[in-house]
Homo-oligomer: A and B are copies of this chain.
Amino acid sequence: MSERYYEDYAVGEVISGHPVTVTESAIIDFAFKYDPQPFHLSLPGGEASSYGGLIASGWQTVAVSFRMLAQAGLVGAASLGSFGVDQLRWHRPVRPGDSLFATATVREMRISASKPDRGHVTIDYSTRNQRGEEVLSMSSVQIVRRRDQTVAV
């Protein structure tokens, strides 16, 4: 994992993950642990729902997207975490066998006024399936250390 200081981001930069296929077994495992709703847990539960079949938990779509972007270098050792997320939207269901492709676009950057050893990087996330349809979007502010600055704890 690289350091990825604040200075290593640029407004307009796009980070792309590798695609990942979401399997039936991964959907059911995640649901059983974190989101036990009928249409995430079983084939009959999915078929009986308005989705007409098993679909992935929205939290799984978020977690898988974030993982693929982290792996692609979105955040590095200079990351100080995030305040949170805004406008998280699940646009379409994710079904077994769908391949998800996540991108992150740097929308805005500014140095922290109260703690000038770090900056805030606003990132827009988008995840699409193998047909190019958007399944997820959200935006988030990442807190990142500046290069050659001592971090105030």
B34 touches A66 (CB 8 A): yes
Residues of B within 8 A of A62 (CB): 59
Q: Is the interface of A mostly helix, strand, loop or mixed?
A: mixed
List the one stretch of A87-95, A97-105, A122-130 in contact with chain B.
A87-95
Q: In the complex, which residues of chain B have a beta carbon less than 8 angstroms from the beta carbon of A1?
A: 36, 38
Contact sample, A vs B, 11 pairs, CB 8 Å cutoff? A34-B66, A35-B66, A37-B70, A37-B75, A37-B81, A50-B153, A52-B153, A58-B81, A58-B82, A81-B90, A83-B90
Chain A residues with CB under 8 Å of chain B are: 1, 33-39, 49-52, 55, 58-59, 62-64, 66-67, 70-71, 75, 77, 79-90, 138, 151, 153
